[in-house]
Amino acid sequence: MVMIAAALQEEARVALDLAARRSRVRLPGCSLWTLSRPAAQYLLLKTGAGPHRAADALQKALASWQPRFLLNIGYAGALRPVLRTGDLVIAARVSAGAGQRALECCAAERLQAVAARKGLSARTGLVRTVDRVLCGAVEKGRLESAEGVLAVDMETFALAQTALRFGIPFGSVRAVADEAGDAIGGAGWERKLEAARHALGVFIEAYFEDLEAAGRR
């Protein structure tokens, strides 16, 4: 079974809304659901925001469940001007800072192919996990220049590290909410979030269809 992990309720809802039936799993300290579709079942974990919450929630979930693949979804902040709101960022590697070894992510080519089939704009590369929100263009610019990072979020490295400890293959797809020059919460912020949610929804539906078609072959 594939597990989807999302930090926020609004990110998790993208997958919840695609289920024909969903059932809450009783697991202390975890917000976990099984999602049933006509041809497959999935697990959905809402981790909470930030690296510590993400790692803790996933560790609790993996103590009871052994998914065959973990896919992290959610929003990201773009560091490169070429990325626009609603574009997808597929992690080939994820780092937690200069001097720390980046972790390899799995299935980037397959995830890119899923996005391409739906005509979604997607780029694959290095993602950086930070422990706080980067609000301004100057701060983002310094990080991009120093490390060549595509985008930032607050959970991916922690999830990848935890999945690695449990021997679970890990991938990540994030939708850009704030562009490189944007301030979070600035003009048009709700519109940007809606564009990111829409792109994630289109991708996740296509991803489910891809997995289900493979299961029928």
pTM: 0.90
Inter-residue contact 165 to 56 (CB < 8 Å): no
Read off the pLDDT of each residue in 60-76 and give the average, rounded to a whole number. 96
Residue 23 CB partners (closer than 8 Å, separation 6+):
33, 34, 36
What confidence category does residue 189 fall into, taking pLDDT thresholds of 50, 70 and 90? Answer: confident
Burial 16-47 (b: 16+ CB within 10 A, else e): bebbeeeeeeeeeebbbbbbebeebebbbbbb
Token digits of residue 175? 């939708």
Read off the pLDDT of each residue in 98-113 and give the average, rounded to a whole number. 89
What confidence category does residue 217 fall into, taking pLDDT thresholds of 50, 70 and 90? Answer: very low
For residue 139, pLDDT beyond 70:
no
d(CA 99, CA 125): 18
d(CA 129, CA 114): 24
- Tokens 């792109």 belong to residue: 199
Cα dihedral angle (194, 87, 81, 11), rounded to 10 degrees?
50
Burial 100-137 (b: 16+ CB within 10 A, else e): eebbebbbbeebbebbeeeebebbbebbbbbeeebeeb
Each residue of 3-18: pLDDT tens digit? 999 999 999 999 999 9
* Residue 53 backbone class (left: φ over 0; alpha: ψ -120 to 50; beta: rest): alpha
The mean pLDDT of the chain is 89
* Residue 188 backbone class (left: φ over 0; alpha: ψ -120 to 50; beta: rest): left
More confident residue, 9 or 186: 9
Residues in a beta bridge with 152: 77, 128
For residue 185, pLDDT beyond 70:
no
**Rg, C-alpha atoms of the chain:** 16
